[in-house]
Structure 1
C-alpha cells in the first residue's frame, strides 16, 4: 500500500509540473490570439465604409468618373485655347506656349496637393461640387476680363517672356488650381476601403487622362477652328457649372448665384464688345484652322488714307488694303514688280501665301495677259479675303 501511495503521489507531482511548464505556452497563445483579434478590429476600423465617416460611400452611378473625364478634357481645351487668346495681344512665339504649359502644370500641381489635403480632412460631395462651380467661375472671369488684362499687359514695357508668364498666371492659373483639386478629391470620395484602392486610383486617373486626350483632339480639330476660342471658353465654363449642379442638384447659394451672374455677364460683355468694335472701329476677330485673325481699319500714317489691316500677330501686318483703291500699301510688295526686270517675257507666276491677296489683285490689273496661281494653306484666310479685301474669283 505504501508503494502504491508513493507511486500515485509521484504521478500527481509530475502532472502538476507539466501543467506549470505548459502555462507560458498557453499564455503566449492567448496573447497572440488577442493581438490578432486587435489587428483585425483595427483593420476593420481602417476599412470602415465611408458612410460612417461622414462622406458619401458610393456616389450614384458613374458621376465621379464622368466628372474626371470632363475635367481632364477641359484642362487641355483650356490650355490650347489660351494660346489663341494671347496671340492677338502678345504673339504666337514659343514663349507663349512655354508660359502656358509651365504655369498650368504648376497650378495643377498645387491643386493636386490642396485636393489631397482637403480630402484627408473631410471628403464630401458638396465640396467637390463647389470647387467645380468655382472653376467654372474662374473660366468665366477669363471670358470677362481677358481682353482688358491682355491689352494692359501688352502695353507694358516688360520683355515678352515676362508678359507671357504674367498673362498665363493671371488668366489661367486660378481655374487650373481648382481643376487640379478635383482628381485627388474625387479619388478619396470613390474609395470605400484600402483593399481596392490601387484599382480605383488607377481607373480614375486613366479616365482623367483619356478625357485629356479627347479634349486635345476636340480643341485642335473642331472647337478652335470652327467654334472659335472665345465661344470655346463659354462651352467649357458651362460644362463645369453643369457638372457642379449635377453633383449637388437644387442647391443655389450666394456663391453659386454670383458665379452664374459672372458667367452670363462675361458672355454678354464679350458679345456686346465685339458688336461695338465691329460697328465703331471696323474691328473683326475670328479663328481659322491655322490662326487667330484680327481685321481692322485705321488711317495710314502720313497720308491719312483709310487702310484695312489683316494681322495674325500684334507685331506684324500680314496684309493691307486701301479702302478706296487696289493700290499696293505695303512697300515691300511693290518690289514684286521687279519680275519685269528679271523675266521680261514672263507669262505665268506662282505665289505662295495669299493672306489678303493684295498683290495678286494688283498683278492681274497690271499684267492683263499673265496668269497667276496662288497657294494659300488656310481656306479661312481666303474666305476672309473675299469678305473684307475685295477678292473675286478670276479664271486667270
Structure 2
C-alpha cells in the first residue's frame, strides 16, 4: 500500500515542539541531579552511575507506560495532562531535596547506595512521566501504519536533538547564570504551560471540527 500523503500541519509542528521540549528538560534535569547530590554524596563516577541508572530505568518504564496509554483513546488533551503531571512532580525536587538528601546521607553510610536511593526518590517518578511523552507523541502523529516508522524516526530525532541541546545549554550556560532551583522551577513552569496550551489547542480544534461538521450537515 502506498504511504500516506497527508500534509504536514501546524498541529504536527506543535507536537514536535513539545517532544523537543520534553527531551531538553529530561537531560537538563539529569545534569542538575549531579549538582543536587554533590554536596552530600560527592561527584565521583559511582554518583553519576546512580543517576544515570535511575534515569535510564525510569525512562524505559515511561516508554512502556506511554505506549500502553496511547492505545486508549489518545488525544492532545491527555497528552497535555501528562506534561502538567510531569510539571507538578518536578517541583518536589526543589522543595524536598535539601532535607531529604540530609536524611539519606545520615542514614546510609555508603555513598553509592545513598546516592542511588536519593536519585530514585527525587527523580524516578517525574522521569517516568516525562518518558511517557515520546511514545504518546508518536501515537498522535501517526495516522497510517505505513508511515509509523518514518514518523517515529523523525520524532526520536527531534526529541534526541532536544536532549543534546538541553545537555550542552544547561551545562555550559544555565548553571553559570542561574541558581539550580531557579532552573528546575523554570523547567516545571515551561512543561506545565505547554501542557495547558496543548489542552487549549485540542479544545479549539474540537470546536472548529464540530462547527465545520454542523455547517456541512446544514448544507
Q: TM-score, normalised by structure 2?
A: 0.85
Q: Aligned runs of 1:154-169 on 2, under 5 Å? A: 154-169=105-120
- Does residue 191 in structure 1 map to residue 142 in structure 2? yes
1:109 to 60, 63, 72: 60
Which of structures 1 and 2 has the larger relative contact order (alpha carbons within 8 angstroms, sep 6+)?
2
Query: Residue in 2 aligned with 1:239?
Result: 190
Supply the distance in 2 between the matched residues of 1:196 and 1:213 (Cα, whole angstroms): 26
User: 1:8-32, CA deviations, whole angstroms, 9 ceiling, x for partnerless residues?
Assistant: xxxxxxxxxxxxxxxxxxxxxxxxx
2:101 to 144, 147, 150: 150
Q: Secondary structure at the match of 1:195?
A: helix
Any unmatched runs of 5+ in structure 2? 203-219
Aligned pair count reads 197
User: 1:110-143, CA deviations, whole angstroms, 9 ceiling, x for partnerless residues?
Assistant: 0000001111222111111111111111111111
Q: Aligned runs of 1:1-396 on 2, under 5 Å? A: 60=11, 62-249=13-200
- Equivalent pair of 2:23/2:163 in contact (CA under 8 Å): yes
Shift of 1:158: 3.5
Shift of 1:235: 1.2
Q: After the TM superposition, which segments of 4 or more aligned residues of structure 1 sit over 2 Å from their partners?
A: 58-61
Shift of 1:186: 0.9
Supply the distance in 1 between the matched residues of 2:129 and 2:54 (Cα, whole angstroms): 14
Q: Secondary structure at the match of 1:69?
A: helix
Shift of 1:239: 1.1
User: 1:239-292, CA deviations, whole angstroms, 9 ceiling, x for partnerless residues?
Assistant: 1111101101299xxxxxxxxxxxxxxxxxxxxxxxxxxxxxxxxxxxxxxxxx
Q: Secondary structure at the match of 2:22?
A: helix
- Equivalent pair of 1:129/1:247 in contact (CA under 8 Å): yes
Supply the distance in 1 between the matched residues of 2:177 and 2:134 (Cα, whole angstroms): 30
- Equivalent pair of 2:28/2:166 in contact (CA under 8 Å): yes
Between Structure 1 and Structure 2, the one with more helix by share is 2
- Equivalent pair of 1:59/1:190 in contact (CA under 8 Å): no
Q: Secondary structure at the match of 2:145?
A: coil
User: 1:200-256, CA deviations, whole angstroms, 9 ceiling, x for partnerless residues?
Assistant: 1111110001001110111110011221322110111111111101101299xxxxx
Q: Secondary structure at the match of 1:123?
A: coil
The structure with the larger Rg is: 1
Supply the distance in 2 between the matched residues of 1:123 and 1:59 (Cα, whole angstroms): 18
Q: Secondary structure at the match of 1:192?
A: coil
Between Structure 1 and Structure 2, the one with more strand by share is 1
Q: 1:193 to 1:169 in 2, by over 3 A?
A: same
